[in-house]
Structure 1
Amino acid sequence: MRIGFIGLGVMGTPMALNLIRAGHTLVVHRVKERSQILIDEGATAAASPQEVAEGAEVVILMLPDTPDVEQVLRGESGVLAGLQPGSLVIDMSSISPVATAELAAEVAERGGGYVDAPVSGGEVGARDGALTVFVGGSEEAVSRAMPLLEVMGKTITHMGEAGAGQATKVVNQVIVGLTIEAVAEGLALAEASGIDAARVREALSGGFASSRILDLHGQRMVERHFEPGFRMRLHRKDLGLALAAAEHHGVTLPGTEAVTGQMDTALAHDLAEQDHSALFRLIGGEFT
Structure 2
Amino acid sequence: MKKKVGFIGLGVMGKFMAGNLLKAGFPLTVYNRTPDKTKSLVSLGATAVNSPKAVGESAEVVITMVSDSPDVKEVVLGEQGVLRGARKGTVIVDMSTISPASSREIAEQVNAAGCHMLDAPVVGSKKAAEEATLGIMVGGDRKIFESCLEIFQAMGKKITYMGTQGMGAYTKMCIQLMVGATMETVAECLALGAKAGLNLNDLKECTLAGGAKTANMEMRGPKIIHRDFETHFALKHMCKDLRLVLATGEELGVPLPMAATALEMFKAARALGHGEEDVSSVIHAVEAMAGIKVGGA
TM tier, shorter chain? over 0.9
Q: What CA deviation, in whole Å up to 9, does each residue of 1:101-129 have, x standing for no partner?
A: 11111111111111100001021110010
Q: Is the 8 A contact 1:90 1:145 kept in 2?
A: no
Aligned to 2:121: 118
2:284 corresponds, among 281, 284, 288, to 281
Query: Is residue 174 of structure 1 aligned with residue 177 of structure 2?
Result: yes
Q: Is the 8 A contact 1:115 1:135 kept in 2?
A: yes
Aligned to 1:244: 247
Identity fraction in percent: 39
- What displacement does 1:146 show? 1.1
Q: Is the 8 A contact 2:38 2:48 kept in 1?
A: no
| Partner AA of 2:9 in structure 1 | G
Distance in 1 (alpha carbons) for counterparts of 2:253 and 2:209: 38
Aligned to 1:17: 19
Partner SS for 1:54 = helix
Q: Is the 8 A contact 1:181 1:279 kept in 2?
A: yes
Distance in 1 (alpha carbons) for counterparts of 2:35 and 2:280: 27
Partner SS for 1:27 = strand
Q: Is the 8 A contact 1:3 1:27 kept in 2?
A: yes
C-alpha change, 1:81 and 1:33, in structure 2 (3 Å) is closer
User: Structure 1 length as normaliser, TM-score?
Assistant: 0.97
Mark the runs of 5 or more structure 2 residues left unpaired by the alignment: 292-297
Distance in 2 (alpha carbons) for counterparts of 1:250 and 1:204: 33
1:28 corresponds, among 19, 27, 30, to 30
| Partner AA of 2:237 in structure 1 | L
Q: Is the 8 A contact 1:8 1:62 kept in 2?
A: yes
Distance in 2 (alpha carbons) for counterparts of 1:71 and 1:86: 20
Aligned residue pairs, count: 288
Q: What CA deviation, in whole Å up to 9, does each residue of 1:147-177 have, x standing for no partner?
A: 1111111111111111100011011000000
- What displacement does 1:206 show? 2.0
Partner SS for 1:59 = strand
Query: Is residue 131 of structure 1 aligned with residue 138 of structure 2?
Result: no
More off after superposition, 108-117 vs 25-34: 25-34
1:75 corresponds, among 65, 75, 78, to 78
| Partner AA of 1:163 in structure 2 | G
More off after superposition, 5-14 vs 259-268: 259-268
C-alpha change, 1:17 and 1:286, in structure 2 (3 Å) is farther
Distance in 1 (alpha carbons) for counterparts of 2:125 and 2:63: 17
1:230 corresponds, among 208, 225, 233, to 233
- What displacement does 1:100 show? 0.7
Mark the runs of 5 or more structure 1 residues left unpaired by the alignment: none
Aligned to 2:295: none
Distance in 2 (alpha carbons) for counterparts of 1:227 and 1:91: 26
Query: Is residue 163 of structure 1 aligned with residue 166 of structure 2?
Result: yes
- What displacement does 1:207 show? 2.0
Distance in 2 (alpha carbons) for counterparts of 1:38 and 1:121: 22
Aligned to 1:257: 260
Distance in 1 (alpha carbons) for counterparts of 2:159 and 2:122: 9
Q: Is the 8 A contact 1:159 1:165 kept in 2?
A: yes
More off after superposition, 173-182 vs 276-285: 276-285
| Partner AA of 2:23 in structure 1 | R
Aligned to 1:205: 208
| Partner AA of 1:128 in structure 2 | E
| Partner AA of 1:13 in structure 2 | K
User: Structure 2 length as normaliser, TM-score?
Assistant: 0.94
| Partner AA of 1:25 in structure 2 | P
- What displacement does 1:34 show? 4.5
Query: Is residue 8 of structure 1 aligned with residue 42 of structure 2?
Result: no
Root-mean-square deviation (CA, aligned residues, Å) is 1.3
Q: What CA deviation, in whole Å up to 9, does each residue of 1:24-64 have, x standing for no partner?
A: 11111125444421011011111110001103110000000
Q: Is the 8 A contact 1:83 1:110 kept in 2?
A: no
- What displacement does 1:205 show? 1.8
- What displacement does 1:287 show? 8.8
Q: Is the 8 A contact 2:123 2:135 kept in 1?
A: yes
Distance in 2 (alpha carbons) for counterparts of 1:206 and 1:264: 31
1:188 corresponds, among 187, 191, 194, to 191
| Partner AA of 2:70 in structure 1 | P
1:272 corresponds, among 258, 272, 275, to 275
